[in-house]
Structure 1
Amino acid sequence: MKKTKILILSAMLVSTLFSCQKLVEIKETDLIAGDVALKTITNNEQGIIGAYAAMNVEMGILLNAVFADEVVTADFYNAATVHEWQYTSTDISIRDSYTAFNLYYRIIDRVNRVLAALPTATAANATDEAKRSRLRGEALFLRAFCHFELYRYYSNSAVGTDLAMAYMETPSLQPQARITVAPYFQKLKADLAAAKPLLPTDFSGTNVYRATQAAASALQARTALYLKEWNDAVTFSTEYINAVPLASRANFPGIWTDANSSETAFKLSRTASLGGRIGSLWRATSASASNIGGITWTISQKLWNMYDQANDIRFSSYAKDEPLLVGSGRKYTRLITKYAGTAYGTAAENVADAKVFRTAEMYLIRAEARAENNDLVGAAADLNALRAARINGYTPVVLASKDAAISAIMDERFKELAYEGHRFWDLKRRNLPVVRITADLPQVNAATTLPAGNFRFLLPIPNAEIQANPVIQQNPGYTN
């Protein structure tokens, strides 16, 4: 009897295991997996377009403004921990507004899947076949770009033995440890070198919204700047400058209204229907032409004072003192207008494309690299060329020393690249402090300075990532 029961139970167990195995093997009918979704060249192009669509440089723009000295709090203030440098690894503002992990590793995973599928993807015709190479170049460029952004958030060191991040070259759900700067950038530079010849040289029309050879040169130049590889910084920035001239003073304001794409070889398309209101980082949309939206952040007094307000075209393109706000009871009447879009109360208010690379940045990269190489004449030539294109009646300067040159270039980066996502990271890579003037303090007792070398120049690895990934290392200064 016992033997019979055992045999029956064994048969039931085998039957159950067999049934479970069969259920596991049944393919879902509503799942479009990678082997189907990326079967054709057209599918893969859609995958690349999806990667572009996920790009969000706005997070970096806001971070660099709020954490540094580009803005002052206006009508509302709910960012005290980040603006006053009190954030921790569990800070809600860091978690909700400044976490680069989900954003960039998600894009990296998408392009890695495209890279895996492309070699065997079906081409419908000769045009598709030719497109295969371009898509590979774009995927490699995007992978390099996203890894560089992760580095700026969580590493930003030129020391080869310091920690960078995990460099993902294949899709994986396995926990990943951080690697050091030297091998990280060996991989990143290899991706860019492989991508560059596969990308188009034409960056006009719709190509400005996709990677081109000029965009690859720009990322190579930016990478070399951060790594302090000065000769490479000169080489790659010169490639971009030769391909994309500086805007004239007449054309410069049109960059920010998207009337033209001067200086720009790569930007991200933004529309009102898809939530592309970059200007809403600083100010809400308006109820009407006269009822201006609430102001969250406005231009700092420090930055306001930096410009030759009568002659510098950047001043009137980036900010204004709004007469409509005078006597309105608002705390500030000054507005950041760099991404203002169309008029108050209109459909495209605060809508503007996100400019990723501009010629002005390349001039400043080359100037800094030349100064570091003690080529003060070359550094002055770049600085003077940029200022002459921006300032009416500008008188060229001579740079007397390397220190004077670097100081002038950093001031120029502050003015030229304001609200483009550079200031905080620039101060970090130059080992300089953030210094706010008294007029820009959010509270009477707020600190004026984040000292050079402070651990908060690097963001904490998010607490959720620490909990999910047992092999990842936290940045110094933070606990979990």
Structure 2
Amino acid sequence: MNKLIIITICGVLLFSASSCKKFLEKAPDNRAELSTAANVAKLVASAYPQAPYAPLGEMYSDNVSDKGPNATGINLDLPFPQMYKFEDVDEDSYNTPAAFWNGAYAGIAAANQALEAIEKNDIGPSANPYKGEALVARAFSHFLLVTFFAKPYDPDGANDTPGIPYILTPETNPYVKYARGTVASVYAQIEKDLEAGIPLLKGGEWQVPAYHFTPAAAHAFAARFYLFKKQWQKVIDHANQVVPNGDFTGSIRNYPAAASLTTDGTAYANFFCNGDAKFNLLVHEMDARFQRTTFFANRYAFGPAVYSWYTASNVTGTKFYTVGFTYSTGNYTLSKLREFFFVTNAAASIGYPMLQMPLLTTDEALLNRAEAYLQLGNYDGVLADLNMCARYKFTTYNPATMAVTLAKAKDFYKVDGVPADDKTALLNTILDFKRWTFMNEGMRYWDMIRYKMPIKHLLIANDNSESYITLEANDNRRVFQIPKDAVQLGGLQPNPR
């Protein structure tokens, strides 16, 4: 990465090997040829984050734990020990906050280049779906950035704390200074792009729809966005447009179908990342090293303490279908993300690993709708959505014994023998369903910041004594630090510490 390019990737780098390697698509070789809708469509295929947010989201959540000094087969590869201890990471290599920052802005740069090409070349209505895709993709990457690098949006607050730079034009000058704006201004521009982009997607045709912001994917993103804004009816309205008639039957992750694949980690990952699966609304590939022993065999990662929660009985009265692949004792991976090797020189066996991961799914849209129903007092709708989710999470589902009920939820989440109130019980059920469903995918962090949950990490000393690092809701360290190059060379204000 050229250190002089602080935020976006300069135009000539947009089609680097790491920016667009779809299975069935290639970017045009010459930007001067971006005068047709077909070529713009190829460019927009790279308008997505070029690095995963999963390392950030997992490490700043309760999905990781200290395996202890006596654990076997562990490593201390950076940046995971640093992030586990909530320390700022100065490096910009794989799995770091800076890597995600740069990767997200690379996608934004491609979106802006596509939008400029459409405008300058006056391509006409045939480019509308790709203009819509570029607008929604631009909103999506900015949304991811603001959730990790700025304080959470508060619907009842001023939201006048620093946001992140919202880039609206292609970058041609690597020395531009940027302003962060505010959380409020970033959210306003996200909503503007989203509302402008979604209508344009109608009638679009994509060779591999799951690699693009189709209308269904865009509505799923909108449901997530309005969940953060606590505009509950909009969450429901958009979730209902993800699948026909708002009926998710047969359209979410089907664990009985995955059960036969447990002996083959590659096949299992292919199941979760399959672009043809109804549950995958947006899948993307990126140059990344997340699903490797660097993370899963790290001392501070997804170990026995978290895996025991993942495999435990839940509010249904029994266990969801679970699987864990191990590198050595206590070092688990759920093998839900697909890694493949992209060969750049077959004769020399040179290349790099690419990580394929789902970015938007029907499961999330369904559970987001359940949360919106809860906040609007529609408990019957909540239970219906929870049971829609649950019925596909067992190898064999028996509704007579495995259904979610209000009575079960209140009893399961009781405190000191006192049953939880109705709303608390159902909210905990929704959040736990989401935690379980998206384990290892980096999404738990968002629920923790939205509900101001303490982020508590165990530390085990050499004598096996235990202590904790806890980030309360007002702790500045809950927000990731702006990369040092963006601060030192780009002139951005760092987050307070």
Could you tell me whether the CA contact under 8 Å between 2:148 and 2:480 is conserved in 1? yes
For the residue of structure 2 that corresponds to 1:239, the secondary structure is: coil
In terms of fraction of residues, the more strand-rich structure is 2
The corresponding residue for 1:214 is 216
The corresponding residue for 2:379 is 376
User: TM-score by structure 1 length?
Assistant: 0.74
Q: Which runs of 5+ in 1 are unaligned?
A: 1-31, 124-128, 285-293
Once the two structures are TM-superposed, the CA of residue 153 in structure 1 deviates from its matched residue by 1.3
Identity of aligned residues (%): 21
Could you tell me whether the CA contact under 8 Å between 1:147 and 1:167 is conserved in 2? yes
The corresponding residue for 1:38 is 34
1:77-92 counterparts in 2 under 5 A? 77-78=76-77, 79-87=80-88, 91-92=90-91
For the residue of structure 2 that corresponds to 1:460, the secondary structure is: coil
The corresponding residue for 1:6 is none
Paired positions, count: 409
Most deviating of 357-366 and 246-255: 246-255
Once the two structures are TM-superposed, the CA of residue 151 in structure 1 deviates from its matched residue by 0.6
Once the two structures are TM-superposed, the CA of residue 106 in structure 1 deviates from its matched residue by 2.9
Structure 2: how far apart are the matches of 1:435 and 1:441?
A: 20
Cα distance change on mapping 1:160 and 1:369 into 2, 3 Å? farther
Most deviating of 384-393 and 90-99: 90-99
Structure 2: how far apart are the matches of 1:463 and 1:350?
A: 26
Structure 2: how far apart are the matches of 1:417 and 1:86?
A: 25
Amino acid at match of 2:490: N
Could you tell me whether the CA contact under 8 Å between 1:432 and 1:453 is conserved in 2? no
Structure 2: how far apart are the matches of 1:43 and 1:202?
A: 14
For the residue of structure 2 that corresponds to 1:447, the secondary structure is: strand
Amino acid at match of 1:97: T
Once the two structures are TM-superposed, the CA of residue 186 in structure 1 deviates from its matched residue by 2.1
Calculate the aligned-residue CA RMSD, in Å: 3.7
Once the two structures are TM-superposed, the CA of residue 237 in structure 1 deviates from its matched residue by 1.7
Structure 1: how far apart are the matches of 2:90 and 2:463?
A: 19
Once the two structures are TM-superposed, the CA of residue 157 in structure 1 deviates from its matched residue by 2.1
Most deviating of 97-106 and 75-84: 97-106
1:391-402 counterparts in 2 under 5 A? 391=394, 392-393=397-398, 394-398=402-406, 400-402=421-423
1:186-335 counterparts in 2 under 5 A? 186-200=188-202, 206-241=208-243, 242=246, 245-252=251-258, 255-256=271-272, 258=274, 260-269=276-285, 279-280=291-292, 299-307=302-310, 312=319, 314-316=321-323, 319-320=324-325, 322=326, 330=328, 332=330, 334-335=332-333
Cα distance change on mapping 1:266 and 1:201 into 2, 3 Å? farther
User: TM-score by structure 2 length?
Assistant: 0.71
Structure 2: how far apart are the matches of 1:339 and 1:440?
A: 32
Once the two structures are TM-superposed, the CA of residue 205 in structure 1 deviates from its matched residue by 6.1
Cα distance change on mapping 1:50 and 1:93 into 2, 3 Å? closer
Could you tell me whether the CA contact under 8 Å between 1:256 and 1:352 is conserved in 2? no
Cα distance change on mapping 1:461 and 1:152 into 2, 3 Å? same
Amino acid at match of 2:57: N
Once the two structures are TM-superposed, the CA of residue 376 in structure 1 deviates from its matched residue by 2.5
For the residue of structure 2 that corresponds to 1:232, the secondary structure is: helix
Once the two structures are TM-superposed, the CA of residue 224 in structure 1 deviates from its matched residue by 0.7
Cα distance change on mapping 1:157 and 1:464 into 2, 3 Å? same
For the residue of structure 1 that corresponds to 2:282, the secondary structure is: strand
Once the two structures are TM-superposed, the CA of residue 438 in structure 1 deviates from its matched residue by 7.1
Which has the larger Rg? 1
Structure 1: how far apart are the matches of 2:62 and 2:463?
A: 11
Give the counterpart of 1:139 among 113, 119, 134: 134
Once the two structures are TM-superposed, the CA of residue 308 in structure 1 deviates from its matched residue by 5.0
For the residue of structure 2 that corresponds to 1:473, the secondary structure is: coil
Cα distance change on mapping 1:279 and 1:419 into 2, 3 Å? same
Give the counterpart of 1:157 among 147, 153, 156: 153
Could you tell me whether the CA contact under 8 Å between 1:61 and 1:422 is conserved in 2? yes
Most deviating of 214-223 and 190-199: 190-199
The corresponding residue for 1:424 is 445
The corresponding residue for 1:48 is 44
Cα shift readout 1:229-278 (whole Å, capped 9, x = no counterpart): 222112212222437622434335663263851311211147xxxx5665
Amino acid at match of 1:465: A
Could you tell me whether the CA contact under 8 Å between 2:476 and 2:496 is conserved in 1? yes
Structure 1: how far apart are the matches of 2:61 and 2:462?
A: 12
Amino acid at match of 1:67: Y
Cα shift readout 1:55-94 (whole Å, capped 9, x = no counterpart): 2352x1111222222234661013322111132xx63379
For the residue of structure 2 that corresponds to 1:354, the secondary structure is: strand
- Relative CO higher for 1 or 2, CA cutoff 8 Å, sep ≥ 6? 2
Cα distance change on mapping 1:421 and 1:282 into 2, 3 Å? same
For the residue of structure 2 that corresponds to 1:355, the secondary structure is: strand
Cα shift readout 1:32-68 (whole Å, capped 9, x = no counterpart): 999835344444333223334xx2352x111122222
Could you tell me whether the CA contact under 8 Å between 1:41 and 1:121 is conserved in 2? no
The corresponding residue for 1:76 is 75
Cα distance change on mapping 1:251 and 1:204 into 2, 3 Å? farther
Amino acid at match of 2:165: A
Could you tell me whether the CA contact under 8 Å between 1:215 and 1:265 is conserved in 2? yes
Structure 1: how far apart are the matches of 2:31 and 2:463?
A: 53
Structure 1: how far apart are the matches of 2:87 and 2:485?
A: 19
In terms of fraction of residues, the more helix-rich structure is 1
The corresponding residue for 1:459 is 480
